[in-house]
């Protein structure tokens, strides 16, 4: 019997066993699912909607495409994708968290969005799809919560068809020192308190702020995409690097 400690990974600023992270992240999103969209509006002053629209508008996605949206949560990206793929296309909204997926499905159905949509409970590290199944893959504000990001990126590459594009929208590293000070003050002093009032959960929003700081920088994530097999990798900073869009192709 080995006396070695189990391998560790980050959960915000805490170190936890790799085997425990998915469960802990699941607990966070199960807790905040019902207030997730309201909190996104409050956290970003509504700017997240502009980021998401730009993300989908500038993706290489055309009418008739089949797109996988990973960590699709409450359906913001999937709804925008439907407008791009049209009636002949298909969007698969996937999430590892059943509560988030249920909220997303209910929202879409309430808006009468049914045709061309499929919902799949899926772990980004073990996607339940055949090789080369999709024309594009998207993931917005979900990659930083994945335990093994390298494995998830390889899975995204595997399920993409040759010529297909991966699109990642995620919080990143702020370029301006002045903005970073303001952003840190907001993230660690005000954000958890807002989460406590609105979602009755300070701890989850403290974790979410910490998880942003632990996420790889723009350059590091670009290197991870290349290591996963993607080519023509590039990134675009939005709001001075508060968020960044990374893209790569399965060539």
| pLDDT confidence of residue 1 | 41
| pLDDT confidence of residue 27 | 80
Q: What is the pLDDT of residues 44-81, one digit of tens each?
A: 778 999 999 999 999 999 999 999 999 998 899 999 99
Residue 78: name the closest of 43, 102, 38, 113 by CA: 113
pTM of the predicted protein model: 0.90
Instruction: Give the chain's residues under pLDDT 50.
Output: 1-2
| pLDDT confidence of residue 172 | 94
Q: What is the pLDDT of residues 127-149, one digit of tens each?
A: 999 999 999 999 999 999 999 99
Q: Domains plus CATH for the chain?
A: 8-175+206-249 (3.40.50.150)
Q: Which residues contact 159 (CB under 8 A, 6 or more apart)?
A: 68, 127, 129, 130, 131, 132, 133, 134, 137
| pLDDT confidence of residue 3 | 58
Mean pLDDT (the chain) is 91
């Amino acid at each position: 019997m080995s006396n070695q400690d189990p391998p560790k990974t980050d959960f915000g600023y805490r170190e936890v066993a790799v085997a425990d992270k998915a469960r802990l992240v699941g607990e966070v999103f199960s807790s905040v699912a019902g207030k997730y969209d309201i909190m996104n509006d409050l956290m970003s002053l509504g700017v997240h909607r502009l980021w998401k629209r730009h993300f989908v508008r500038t993706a290489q996605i055309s009418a008739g495409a089949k797109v996988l949206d990973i960590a699709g949560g409450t359906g913001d990206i999937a709804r925008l994708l439907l407008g791009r793929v049209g009636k002949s296309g298909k969007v698969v909204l996937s999430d590892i968290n059943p509560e988030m997926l249920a909220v997303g499905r209910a929202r879409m159905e309430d808006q009468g969005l049914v045709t061309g949509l499929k919902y799949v409970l899926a772990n980004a590290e073990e996607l339940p799809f055949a090789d080369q199944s999709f024309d594009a893959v998207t993931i917005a504000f979900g990659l930083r919560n994945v335990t093994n990001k390298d494995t998830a990126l390889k899975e995204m590459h595997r399920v993409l068809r040759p010529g297909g594009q991966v699109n990642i929208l995620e919080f990143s590293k702020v370029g301006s020192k002045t903005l970073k000070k303001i952003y840190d003050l907001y993230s660690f002093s005000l954000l958890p308190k807002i989460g406590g009032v609105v979602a009755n959960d300070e701890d989850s929003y403290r974790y979410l702020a910490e998880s942003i700081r632990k996420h790889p920088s723009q350059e590091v994530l670009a290197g991870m995409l290349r290591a996963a097999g993607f080519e023509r990798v590039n990134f675009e900073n939005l709001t001075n690097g508060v968020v960044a869009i990374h893209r790569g192709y399965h060539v």
